[in-house]
Amino acid sequence: MTDTLAFESIGGLAARIRQGAIGPVALTEALLARIDALDPHLHAFLTRARERALGQARAAESALRGGHDLGPLHGIPYAVKDLYDVAGLATTAGTRWLADNVAATDCVAVRRLSAAGMVLLGKTHTVQFAFGGVGVNHDHGTPHNPWHRVPHAPGGSSSGSGVAVAAGLVPIALGTDTGGSVRIPAALCGTVGLKTTVGRISRAGVYPLSWTLDSVGPLTRSVEDAALVYQALQGADLGDETTVGVPPHEVLGDLRRGVKGLRIAFGETVFFDDVDAEVDQAVRQAGQVFRGLGAHVDSMAVPEVALAMGEQKRALMVAAEALAVNGRLLDEHFDTLDPVVVSRMAAGRALTASDYFAVMRRWATLRARITRTLADVDALLVPTTMAPARPVSVVDATPESYAEHNAKYLRNTSLGNILNLCAVCLPCGFTAEGLPIGLMIYAKPFDEAMALRVAWAYEQATEWHARRPDLSWAR
């Protein structure tokens, strides 16, 4: 399989399929062969669903030949994070203790992509229980960030999905985002990541970390690809009460409207504090791009961000909700689970019920306040992470080093989860070492159309998204 085809966008692949240049079966076979060749070095995939993939590809090809075209996703291969239920496959959530947790049915997200004609190639690695921003897994192994031959942090917890897309193993992979788990791997691996508002996409059948904060989102190679997949995934589902009463909205029509006249601001509160110089410079330069496109670019304080950052019990909230799901496994297997994960999760036992409800009320107040603060702003520009990818040997050298880097990767993203903002992360530069830098575009809750529109305009005006990692070391 040529790199040109491996790194083609969904739109490009769809055009090739309809031109007869390649069929869904040949495309699926080529990507499976690429995974076979490269993944022993990249370690992005936990499970490959070869027979299912080929069956779906044959069905997609037959339907197209019969004149039944389901749209731009028809015949396009993809992967899902190892939190998504797929019939007949184990949902292990990154731990060997759930190896027998075989799903009876597909989750809602997988069903919706199947209905759009997509082809599932397999499941990608995640941080154990999806509880970590670095991307390290001491049980199943850590995916290798494709931008460096020396193992670097892939970002978590959707680590395998980020690596799979960045390395051209699949054009799109689903992740989940509770505190940044779509956006961090997107930033560190140089892909696009869409963090959706809770309530936009059903999480039914997705192994939970925090029911309050969990969201479903794609990692892709382009903003348009993210919009195409988002369009197919959204919609109400009785299996996830947060989606009930939230009507789907159309985002593709506004994608190319540009940013002329839009009000875009750098979010100066907290987000730029102690950020690496190369990251700061790359994100600031994005402002010049938007000015050149006709947007009004300014800076603004966002006091709700500082208040969210100052919430002393915010980390315990996720830990406590995660314990509600994984408490039995911690009780029975604590000494054999990933120590950097379970030590943080066990701390959730210190959160009292009254504390939990008090924090929930404070978060609700902050969410209402930030909607008013951003009333006259279309989007915020901030760094996705405080630092680029670092060598795994450095990040994971000691528990203290892990905690330090985990905080650096999670800070700017997790604040958006608390405030229920939606966001797009996309590449805005590279470090002197050749590692990607992520720009995060925050928009108001349920305004994914605006986040995608602003991101698309920036992507089209720059070339960062067109760069590809040198994978000669993995061949």
The residues assigned a catalytic role are 81, 157, 181
Q: Is 48 in a helix, a strand, or coil? A: strand
Amino acid code (one letter) for 327: G
Q: Which residues have a Cβ under 8 Å from the Cβ of 188 and sit 6 or more positions away? A: 135, 145, 152, 153, 154, 155, 162, 385, 388, 389, 409, 435, 436, 438
Contact between 424 and 226 under an 8 Å Cβ cutoff? The reply is yes
Q: Nearest-CA neighbor of 27 among 48, 51, 65, 58?
A: 58
Contact between 134 and 409 under an 8 Å Cβ cutoff? The reply is yes
Q: Distance (Å, rounded) from C-alpha 162 to C-alpha 230?
A: 17
For tokens 């075209």, name the residue: 69
Q: What share of the chain is helix, strand, coil (3-state, %, to 5)?
A: 45, 15, 40
Q: Which residues have a Cβ under 8 Å from the Cβ of 232 and sit 6 or more positions away? A: 71, 73, 112, 113, 115, 116
DSSP H/E element including 426: strand 422-430
| Dihedral class, residue 262 (left if φ above 0, else alpha if ψ from -120 to 50, else beta) | beta
Q: Distance (Å, rounded) from C-alpha 281 to C-alpha 265?
A: 16
Strand-by-strand arrangement of the 379-383 sheet: 45-48, 119-124, 77-81, 172-177, 215-220, 192-195, 422-430, 436-443, 379-383, 263-267, 296-300
**Structure tokens that stand for 378 in this block:** 């279309």
For tokens 């397999």, name the residue: 122
Q: Nearest-CA neighbor of 173 among 133, 215, 225, 128?
A: 225
Q: Distance (Å, rounded) from C-alpha 133 to C-alpha 46?
A: 19
For residue 456, how far is the Cα from the chain centroid? 17
- Degrees to nearest 5, angle at CA 196 with 360 and 258: 130
Q: Distance (Å, rounded) from C-alpha 51 to C-alpha 445?
A: 40
Directed axis angle between helix 277-292 and helix 448-461, to 10°? 90
What is residue 197's DSSP assignment?
A: P
